[in-house]
Amino acid sequence: MLISTRVRKSPFWHLSIEAGAWRATVYNRMYHPRGYVRPEDGGAMAEYDALINRVTLWNVAVERQIRVKGPDAEAFVDFVITRDATRIRPMHGKYCILCNDRGGILNDPVLLRLAGDEFWFSISDSDLMLWLQGVNVARRFDVEIDEIDVSPLQIQGPLSEDLMADLVGEQVRAIPYYGLMETEIGGRPVVVSQTGFTGEKGYEVYVRDATQNAEAVWYAIRGQGARFGLRVIAPAHHRRIAAGILSWGQDLDAETSPFQVNLAYQVPRKKAGDYIGRAELERQRDIIDKGGYPFRQKLVGMKLGGHPITDYAPDFWLVTDPGGNRVGYLTSPWWSPELETNIALGYVPWEMATPGTALKIELPEAYSETSGQPVDAMVCEVPFRPSVNPSARERARAAGRDSAD
């Protein structure tokens, strides 16, 4: 990739290069490291091994922090997200979605509530700050909306809790899932949350005044992490697929409804206040409640044949029915060592979304078992593997609800 001054570099960019990053993409108009271990040394699957067996450090500064602060912060946030913002206590967070008036998902950030009058949107890949500022252009709400000098890192893996306890003290063990704490690492102020992009135990470290403090925090984590076998890796999409965690721009976008992508729990039936997209989302749910399909396609999990897919798919591979008719496409495929099969998220017609439905996948030659022939696939339940911290969707389903609120 051409590295220039036109695309923004995070405060951790040079540290990622120092740690061996050899490839990158652009996310939120920032360079995003997406590979540290070279293919000849095991590539992404070696990084996966470090994640599920030890502990890893990720540069995720591309999750830019958009702050909403002011007397009307709660009311404004409640208006732009589908979930009930009034139920998020200070020093806690939630995964949430924001929709347009057609019910399309504009962003699916982690929302942190630092105080009664202050929220941070830790955003996925879209210009959410511009949207939020546009919503409030008439100054209906008394809030300031800006990007702040806070950059996150992720510490993920089964040894993450022990490493974090060494870094910030034993009190970190008491942080609940989506809980926050203010502390210091390397003598610099950070906010720690028990969250992540994996389904493994993990934390995010939000470095305050990151342009000044990035190096001190990074080196403190790496220094203390050495005794735990810490490895710097790229975000582990193979593990998030297994956990059923979605990637905005890949599995969903502004034309996708939450009801298409297993996010119905994000649309509460009894939220008191109005929010952007509510009328359309309630119209869609009414159709589903009556047994109809408001959309042609639905996101499902699939297990599929073929040679192991051990790196990022460069395109959306096509799905066919048993008769050879092209009916959908994969969004996120990867090899699962634990399940010993390829797994994927992808779109199929609503009537083919039932677990057990047989399908075919047109894979590239490198992964196809027989040249020119599609491989067998089957729709299956998501998540593919249990998560250390079950998602709100999983907990709602276990409780027999369709909503987390």
Q: In what helix (H) or strand (E) does residue 288 lie, and over which residues does it extend?
A: helix 278-289
DSSP labels, 371-392: TT-PEEEEEE-S-SS--SS--H
Return d(Cα 330, Cα 251) in angstroms, integer.
Answer: 9
| Inter-CA distances, 103 with 130, 275, 293, 348, 399, Å | 18, 11, 15, 20, 26
Per the CB < 8 A criterion, the answer to whether 393 and 404 are in contact is yes
> What is the distance of C-alpha 234 from the center of its chain?
13
Q: What is the token pair recorded at 378?
A: 């089957």
Cα-based torsion angle of the residue sequence 107, 110, 112, 117 in order, rounded to the nearest 10 degrees: 10
The whole-angstrom separation of Cα 268 and Cα 270 is 6
| Alpha-carbon span 50 to 251, nearest angstrom | 25
Give CA separation, 365 vs 29, 156, 227, 307, 325, in Å.
Answer: 33, 34, 42, 10, 20
Give the C-alpha separation, 80 to 251, whole Å.
Answer: 21
> For residues 68 and 86, what is the distance between their CA atoms, to the nearest angstrom?
14
Query: Exposed (0-12), middle (13-18) or buried (19+): which is 135, by Cβ within 10 Å?
Result: middle
The answer to whether the annotation marks 204 as part of a ligand binding site is yes
Taking the CB of residue 18, how many other CB atoms lie within 10 A of it?
A: 11
Q: Is the CB of residue 236 less than 8 Å from the CB of residue 33?
A: no
Binding site feature residues for substrate: 204
Task: Output the known binding site.
Answer: 204
